[in-house]
Structure 1
Amino acid sequence: MTETKLMENEQNLNQNDFYQIVLGRRSVKRYDPSVKITRKEMAEILEEATRAPSSVNMQPWRFVVIETPEGKAKLAPLARFNQDQVETSSAMIAVFGDMNSVEYAEDIYSRQVELGYMPQEVKDQLLAAFKPAYENMPERDMRDVVLIDSGLVCMQLMLVARAHGYDTNPIGGYEKDEIAEAFGLDKDRYVPVMLISIGKAASEGYPSYRLPVETVSSWV
C-alpha cells in the first residue's frame, strides 16, 4: 500500500465511531466459517496495524497468516483449547517478535530520509546512537523490547480488524516452544508473542467486567 493510500485511509477513519470500536470489542471464540477475508484486505489490516509505535522504530513484529486448511491442520495440535477459533476463523495470525530486527535499521532509516521524514544528519546521529546498543543488547533485555513492541501491534491489529468489520480473539495458550519451527521459522530468532483469530463473529461476544480506574491507578 502506498503512503498516499495510507493517508486516505487515515482521513476516512472518521467514518468509524472510535468509541464503538474500542468499547464494543469482544473476544470472539466462534466465527462464521463461510466468511473469508481476502489476502488484499488482510494485507491492508496488517499494514494499518503496523502503524503502531515501536522502540526506535525497529518494528520487530512478524506475522504468519494461517488461512489454508493445510495451515490450520498444522496449527490445530499446537492451539490447545482453542480449536473453535482455529476451525471457524477466517484466519489465525501468529505474531512473533524478531530478536534481530536491528538488521533492518539501515533500510528503515534510509527510507525515512528518502521520504523526507528526517534529514540525513539526524539519521546518521540516531543510528550511531542506538544501533551498537541494539546489536550488543543482552538476550533477556532484547526479548523484553520485542515483546512490548509486538504487544502494541497486536492491540492495534485487533482494533483495526474491528474497524474493517471483523472480530478477533487474542490467544496466549498454545505451544510456544513449537510454533516457530512448525511454520519454518528460526525459534531462536523469532519469539512467539500471541495468536490472534480473526473473522466474522457467529454470535456476539460476551461483555466482561473491568476493575475501576481507582483500583488500577494512582496519582502522585
Structure 2
Amino acid sequence: MDIEARKSELMSTYYFRHATKEFDSTKKISETDFNFILEAGRLSPSSGGNEPWKFVVVQSPEFRKELAPLVSGAVRSLPTSSHFVLILARKGLTFDSPYLFQQQTKVKGMPVEVYQSMQQAYAQFYEELHLTTERELLDWSSKQTYLAMGNMMTAAAHIGIDSCPIEGFDLDAVNELLAEKGLLGNDEFSLSVITAFGYRANEPKRSKTRRPMEEIAQFV
C-alpha cells in the first residue's frame, strides 16, 4: 500500500469514529478484536516509558449495576456497550519510587547503575514540571492515560468498532467501589477516565464537524 492509500485509510478511520452514546446491545466485540484494542493501549507512549495506567474491563452485569448510579455520563452506554473500560492512573509515581525503579530496570532493561546515575536528572525533571504533591503526580499520570485511551479508540474505529470517552462520574464513589473490590492495589491507582466500546445502535445524525485548520494550527 502506498503512502497516499495509507493516509486515506487512516483518515477514513477518523471520520468513522464518533462518540457513540448508545450501542447495539445484541452485538458483542470478539475476543480477538478486543485484544487488538487493548494492545493499542498497552503499546501507547508514556513519559519515560513508565506506563502509569491499568485497564479494568467491566463485563460483569452485577458490577455494571453497582456502577450505574455512579457514572452519570454513561446512562446509555454502560448497559448497552459490549466492553466497558475503566482506565486507572498510577498514584505517587515519584522519581525514586519502587515502581519506577522496577519499570526502568526490569521492564525496560536499564542497568541499575545507569538508573542510579540518572537520579539527579530525574529529580530536576520532576522539579521543572512541578511534580511535588500527590495531586500533581496523579494529574501527570492521568494526562498520560488519555494517550492510551485515544489510541484504543482509534484502533477500535480502524476495525469498525465504536467507542465513547466518558468523564461523567463520581470520582470518590467509584474509587471507593473499586477499592472494595481490590482493584486499586495497595492504594496505587485512581480512576482517570472511562471508555465504552461496542457497535453503534444508530448512525450519527450529522457528519463530523470541526473548526477549520487555519483556526487551530499556526506555523511560526
TM value normalised by structure 2 = 0.77
- The Cα shift of 1:198 comes to 0.3
Q: Is 1:34 matched up with 2:26?
A: yes
* Residue equivalent to 1:112: 108
Give the alignment partner of residue 49 of structure 2, picking from 50, 53, 57.
57
The structure-2 alpha-carbon separation of the partners of 1:119 and 1:26, relative to structure 1 and needing over 3 Å to count, comes to: same
Give the alignment partner of residue 153 of structure 2, picking from 134, 153, 158.
158
- The Cα shift of 1:131 comes to 7.0
- Asked if structure 2 preserves the Cα contact closer than 8 Å seen for 1:28 and 1:204, the reply is no
Following TM superposition, the consecutive aligned residue runs of length 4 or more in structure 1 with deviations greater than 4 angstroms are 38-41, 118-124, 131-134, 185-189
CA RMSD of aligned residues (A): 2.9
* Residue equivalent to 1:174: 169
Q: After superposition, what is the alpha-carbon deviation per residue over 1:27-60, rounded to whole angstroms, capped at 9, x for unaligned?
A: 1112121222345543442122122111111111
AA aligned opposite 1:177 = D
Give the alignment partner of residue 92 of structure 1, picking from 84, 93, 102.
84
Q: After superposition, what is the alpha-carbon deviation per residue over 1:156-196, rounded to whole angstroms, capped at 9, x for unaligned?
A: 11111222331001111111221122122459643322111
Q: Is 1:21 matched up with 2:13?
A: yes
Q: After superposition, what is the alpha-carbon deviation per residue over 1:83-131, rounded to whole angstroms, capped at 9, x for unaligned?
A: 2101110021111211134543233223322xxxx66765454466327
* Residue equivalent to 1:74: 66
Q: After superposition, what is the alpha-carbon deviation per residue over 1:42-82, rounded to whole angstroms, capped at 9, x for unaligned?
A: 34421221221111111111221111211211111112152
- Secondary structure of 2:108's aligned partner: helix
* Residue equivalent to 1:143: 138
Q: Count the aligned residue pairs.
A: 202
* Residue equivalent to 2:197: 198
- Asked if structure 1 preserves the Cα contact closer than 8 Å seen for 2:36 and 2:155, the reply is no
Query: Unmatched 5+ residue regions in structure 1?
Result: 1-13
- Asked if structure 2 preserves the Cα contact closer than 8 Å seen for 1:65 and 1:94, the reply is yes
AA aligned opposite 2:92 = N
* Residue equivalent to 1:46: 38
The structure-2 alpha-carbon separation of the partners of 1:57 and 1:131, relative to structure 1 and needing over 3 Å to count, comes to: farther
* Identity %, equivalent residues: 27
Query: Unmatched 5+ residue regions in structure 2?
Result: 1-5
* Residue equivalent to 1:10: none
The structure-2 alpha-carbon separation of the partners of 1:63 and 1:34, relative to structure 1 and needing over 3 Å to count, comes to: same
